[in-house]
Amino acid sequence: MKRIAIFASGSGSNFQAIVDACQEGLLDAEPALLICDKPGAYAIERAERAGIPAVAFVPREYPNKAAYENAVLQQLQVHRIDFIVLAGYMRLIGPTLLSAYKGRIVNIHPSLLPAFPGLDAIGQALEYGVKVTGITIHFVDEGMDTGPIIAQVPIEVAAGDTRESLQKKIHDIEHIFYPKTLHQLFSIKGEKITR
């Protein structure tokens, strides 16, 4: 069973969906650690309620990205983490973690990549006027939302959709599809999981 660290920056709704799926036997993994870059994030409270160790880092307290990621890496090693799952983590992963976890970092993004990478993908989709957006689960590489795509789900943008209504649609799908895709990824038999 894979020991996973979930990285989150905010409320942690995808973190909760992954934890729930593990507890219900829908995802064959052990959520062994939450890494958060915002000490006041609600995700930390969720982790505490679930009995999952949570470590919060303040990036600006480190002299550079490498020092920050080395501190994170130390926690990943202490908790014997096999795989990193990004769930609303709002920082680019740098060379330190990419090197240590090559091919073992997965992210979810609220658009059909390569469309609308980066911040505010939902706002970008609404502004552009697309009729279909969606979610993408992908491996993480050096770029911003440029890693190899694992799975995608299209979501219709209705005429009256607002940022809030579209965000709810996307979250509802994410909470089902992310754990399901992770389960399929971790269940690959006899094959090393790589990009």
pLDDT digits (tens, 9 = 90+) for 47-60: 999 999 999 999 99
Token pair 């995808």 in the structure block, residue? 14
Kindly give the pairing relationship between strand 83-86 and strand 105-109: parallel
Total-model pTM: 0.93
Measured over all CA atoms, what is the biggest interatomic distance in the chain, rounded to whole angstroms?
Answer: 49
Q: What is the pLDDT of residue 127?
A: 95
The domain 2-186: what is its CATH number? 3.40.50.170
195 to 36, 84, 105: CA distances (angstroms): 25, 14, 10
82 to 46, 75, 85: CA distances (angstroms): 22, 12, 10
Instruction: Answer whether 100's CB lies under 8 Å from 69's CB.
Output: no
Active site residue ranges: 109
Helix (H, G, I), strand (E, B) or coil at 182: helix
**Using the 8-state DSSP alphabet, how is residue 130 labeled?**
-
Kindly give the pairing relationship between strand 29-36 and strand 2-8: parallel
Q: What is the pLDDT of residue 188?
A: 72
Q: Which residues, given as ranges, of the chain have pLDDT below 70?
A: 189-195
